[in-house]
A and B are shown apart, each in its own frame.
Chain A
């Protein structure tokens, strides 16, 4: 029993003092404990751990008086185990969370803005030649989808000019992207109007229009703010508010990233190239 007492006082340095003060009520225990501490080098105690009585018959005999000792005696392994378990657990949780966060961040940087549900749903519209243009026409190639309207005062023409420069630049290294201009103003932008309007810009741009309801649905799919009045008197002039983004869609017709107005002739191309590289690596 003394042996075990000594072990506990040694193994938990801090508790040693408590043990000794309590031990003064038991003179013999105190003396022998002190004596052993002086003579035994601390490193040797490890070998005795296995011979220690564990909660067994010895303590039962002196249960009333040595309750405290027992607690301390058993605290050592219990607390070590406790710290191991708690420490291990918190480490594991920390590692897990960190890994989860890293993965999320990697995904975020790949996708740009998380994983919003943009596009990727069926639609049936009409192109500038009066031919049907549906979600199937987005398959098999990357597309850049832009929403605007031909009566747009200054932003759309600028953005479409920029798009033309991007397309020319990307064509240099063989990157073909289908440019799509979807009007938010179907009342005024008939296929003929679009055809004429887009003739001023890059030749590959597909102009897309449709019924008011279909265009509204399309804008909703792409989270485009849509403020076009439904019933307009003939000859009445109005402007259309709309969001100004290019949506890069993959050959499955799924959303990859958006390109905002902050990107210019050069940085836009850089972003598209980088996005495509990243896309090909992960697909």
Chain B
């Protein structure tokens, strides 16, 4: 998977420390996205917004993670968000059903 941001980056060495580093950078990056209300980092609409507020975190995240993981984590953020929404909705409906009973 070719990634324009990561050209010239040395290959990711898959060790426990590096994985941990990658996940931490990912979490910081996603926290930043949370703070500017961006769900999908892959949506071109959000590109400028992310560049303004989270450029540093994005760079670090892409530096610390394997290339194939970068897109995976970005996509996963969106699906996780949707799953959360669905779960919340289901819970609310169950609560509603319990109340009306």
Query: Which A residues are closer than 8 A to B by beta carbons?
Result: 150-151, 153-154, 157, 197, 200, 235-239
Q: Could you tell me if B16 and A153 are in contact, using CB atoms closer than 8 angstroms?
A: no
**Residues of chain B lying within 8 A (CB to CB) of residue A157:** 16, 19
Given the interface pairs A200-B15, A200-B16, the reply to whether A237 lies near B66 with Cβ below 8 Å is yes
A239 to B3, CA, bound (A): 14
Which of chain A's residues has its CB closest to B15's CB? A200
Residues of A within 8 A of B15 (CB): 200
- Complex CA–CA separation, A237 to B72 (angstroms): 12
Contact B14–A197 (Cβ < 8 Å): yes
A238 touches B23 (CB 8 A): no
Name the residue on B nearest A153 (C-beta).
B69
Inter-chain CA distance A238–B70, complex, in Å, is 11
On whether A151 and B66 interact (CB within 8 A), knowing A237-B1, A239-B72, the answer reads yes
**Contacting pair A153 B1 (CB below 8 A):** no
Query: Contacts of B16 on A, CB cut-off 8 Å?
Result: 157, 200
A235 to B12, CA, bound (A): 11
Bound complex: CA A157 to CA B69 (Å): 13
A57 CB to nearest B CB, Å: 72
Task: Supply 22 A–B pairs (Cβ within 8 Å), ascending by A.
Answer: A151-B14, A151-B68, A153-B65, A153-B66, A153-B68, A153-B69, A153-B72, A153-B73, A154-B23, A154-B73, A157-B16, A197-B14, A200-B15, A200-B16, A237-B1, A237-B66, A237-B67, A238-B1, A238-B68, A239-B68, A239-B69, A239-B72
Given A151-B14, A153-B73, A200-B15, answer yes or no on A237-B68 (Cβ-Cβ < 8 Å): yes
Closest B residue to A200 using CB positions: B16
Closest to B11 in A: A235
Residues of B within 8 A of A235 (CB): 11
Closest approach, in angstroms, between the C-beta of B49 and any C-beta of chain A?
A: 25
B11 contacts across to A, CB distance below 8 A: 235
Residues of A within 8 A of B66 (CB): 151, 153, 237
- In the complex, what's the smallest C-beta–C-beta distance from A152 to chain B, in angstroms? 9
Q: Which residue of A lies closest to B23 (CB)?
A: A154
Q: Tell me, in angstroms, the Cα distance from A239 to B14 when the chains sit together.
A: 14
A266 to B55 CA separation, bound complex (whole angstroms)? 40
**In the complex, what distance in Å separates the CA atom of A197 from the CA atom of B16?**
9
Query: When chains A and B are docked, how far (Å) is the Cα of A238 from the Cα of B73?
Result: 13
When distances are taken between beta carbons in the complex, the residues of chain B under 8 Å from A197 are 14
Question: Chain A contacts of B1 at CB under 8 A?
Answer: 236-239
CA of A150 to CA of B18 in the docked complex: distance in angstroms? 13
Q: A residues within 8 A CB of B73? A: 153-154
* A150 CA / B69 CA spacing, docked (Å): 12
Q: Give the Cβ gap from A184 to chain B, nearest Cβ, in Å.
A: 14
Expressed in whole angstroms, the minimum distance between the Cβ of A80 and any Cβ of chain B is 49
The answer for the CA separation of A183 and B11 in the assembled complex, in Å, is 21
Residues from chain B with Cβ under 8 Å of A154 in the complex: 23, 73
A149 to chain B, nearest CB (A): 10
Residues on B with C-beta less than 8 A from A200 are 15-16
